[in-house]
Amino acid sequence: MSVALSRKLAASICVALMLGAAIHASPVAADSFDYQLVPRKIADDTWLLVGKTEDFSRSNGGNIVNTAFVVTDDGVVVIDSGPSKRYAEQMRRAIARITPKPVIRVFNTHHHPDHFLGNQVFADVPTLALAETIAGQRSEGGAFADNVYRLSGDWIKGTEAVAAREAVAPGAIVIGGHPFELIALAGHTQGDLVILDRRTGVLFAGDLVFHNRAPTTPHASIVQWLAALHRLDAIPFKIMVPGHGEPVGDGRAVEQTRRYLRWVESTLALGAARGDEMTEILGKALPAEFATLPLGAEEFARSVAHLYRRYEAGTLTRQR
């Protein structure tokens, strides 16, 4: 299959998957729009809001992401602002139920919509991200907000894509007695911020790590992503918070993510080397360990659409 034809097919697949999600999503009960955010304490001063291991839908309103907050001596540090204005408003109320301290910082781990579309609710607070993340938020944020609205409906009403206002550099920063280490990586996107709280040992890994949920790859470089996971292996932690899925106290989520990415990488590379058409790749059965993951089949199909043309192009270049 030509690279041009692969691109057309990839676009068709992405549209079909998005429309399918929108068509089959269950409508939310009238007047509800309640994300039912219940902070879970996972360490001293540290609270987690665990999202569903699902895709965006009209029943979940985009509540598919892990967000968190740390109550420091000086105020509250938020890790990711969620998928909508409504979510962030309810997050601030959930934080207020835990502590009267104000929110003083919001970090965005990367530029995907479920992690930053709540930024507008924190207009009174410094919002921070890597420079690459801010660039992505500015260039793609409007399209993200439109697509999330199509998938999740009125949950997203009034949501605007507001980029983080301050770029951060990797390194150590102390906030309210908590020594945070900001670690700049890439692979899931070109700007993946990992945050380690050295006081508690909690590592916020963002979407570099998925746990019991198939990874998403719209902006991925699998080679960079695998290198980032290798870096994570060297970071001591007590609790790891993935971008999606339950937190863990060991390396199982990293290893699960690594195995999945290696399988996708080898499947696409081998298919391109053989000259397989995209439809042949899409017809492949997933290994049992990935087929049983939530959204395993859907995310593999999207990964083929996102990535396969690169492997085809690489094979054609090597053959010249």
How many residues does the structure list for the chain?
Answer: 320
Per-residue pLDDT tens for 55-67? 999 999 999 999 9
Per-residue pLDDT tens for 59-94? 999 999 999 999 999 999 999 999 999 999 999 999
Contact 188, 258 (CB under 8 A): no
Name the band, by pLDDT with cuts 50, 70 and 90, for residue 316. Answer: low
State residue 13's pLDDT score: 46
Contact 134, 167 (CB under 8 A): yes
State residue 182's pLDDT score: 98
State residue 314's pLDDT score: 74
Q: In the predicted model, what is the mean pLDDT of the chain?
A: 92
Per-residue pLDDT tens for 223-251? 999 999 999 999 999 999 999 999 999 99
User: Is pLDDT of 183 > 60?
Assistant: yes
Give DSSP secondary structure letters for 67-134.
EEEEE-SS-EEEE---SSHHHHHHHHHHHHHH-SSPEEEEE-SSSSHHHHTTGGGGTTS-EEE-HHHH
User: Is pLDDT of 26 > 90?
Assistant: no
Comparing 16-20, 45-49, 138-142, 267-271, which segment has the lowest mean pLDDT?
16-20
State residue 11's pLDDT score: 45
Structural domain tally of the chain? 1
Range of the domain at 296: 3-319
Per-residue pLDDT tens for 162-172? 999 999 999 99
Could you tell me the CATH number of the domain that includes residue 56? 3.60.15.10
State residue 32's pLDDT score: 81
∠ Cα 257 107 91 (to 5°): 95
Per-residue pLDDT tens for 98-150? 999 999 999 999 999 999 999 999 999 999 999 999 999 999 999 999 999 99
